[in-house]
Amino acid sequence: MIYVSNHGGRQLDHGRGAMEVLPEIVAAVGGRVPVIVDGGFNRGTDIVKALAAGADLVGLGRMQCIGLAAGGSAALVRLLEILETEIQICLGLLGVNTWAELDPSYLHPAPPVSTGATLGSFPLLTLEEQSFY
């Protein structure tokens, strides 16, 4: 198995994100072994994107910590249920019945519509302050 991760972005600041390097690693692996990816997967649609890009598995770090902190194991289970529902809705809206039907043709680059802050490196800074960095 190949594990694609930048360790949650904490090892090498400003390094490339796991999703950015995933396609080239999937191409190099060529299906010989499963590929797992982690880093910044916070919504069901994020997970769908990773599988469309060729990952076989997605790892979750901070999201599970947030669930546990919010309400222990029951909240963690609820968090995973919400992710599952988001995935089902996304696949349904894409018209996809199985994971195998997903491929990179479902992905299209798009500029961010807002600056991520809540789970970002500097969540307490204003947009103006963030643009300084």
For ligand FMN, the binding residues (CB under 6 A) are 5, 7-8, 38-41, 59-63, 65
Picking from 5, 8, 96, 7, the residue whose alpha carbon sits closest to that of residue 44 is: 96
Select 26 or 38, whichever has its Cβ closest to ligand FMN: 38
Between CA 79 and CA 82 the distance in angstroms is 5
Q: Which one of 2, 4, 5, 7 is the catalytic residue?
A: 7
CB of 8 to ligand FMN, least distance (A): 3
**Residue of minimal CB distance from ligand FMN?**
61
Q: For residue 2, give both structure tokens.
A: 């190949």
Look up 7 and say whether it is catalytic: yes
> CB–CB of 35/56 below 8 Å?
yes
Q: How does DSSP classify residue 105?
A: G
Select 6 or 54, whichever has its Cβ closest to ligand FMN: 6
CB of 58 to ligand FMN, least distance (A): 9
Q: For residue 120, give both structure tokens.
A: 């970002």
The residues that are catalytic are 7
